Amino acid sequence: MATGGLYHLLLLIREIDLPVKRWEY
């Protein structure tokens, strides 16, 4: 369960990180 939560957080961070990189570019 703990690993599942971490995986979900990673996905959220990735989803937020991609748009941020696009805006920076």
What's the pLDDT band for 1 if we cut at 50, 70, 90? low
pLDDT greater than 70 at residue 12: yes
Mean pLDDT of all residues in 5-18: 85
3-state secondary structure 1-25: CHHHHHHHHHHHHHHHHHHHHHHHC
Handedness of CA 18, 22, 23, 24 (dihedral sign): positive
Q: What residue type is 20 in one-letter code? A: V
As a whole-number percent, the residues of the chain with pLDDT over 70 amount to: 68
- Of 5-9, 12-16, 18-22, give the lowest mean pLDDT range: 18-22
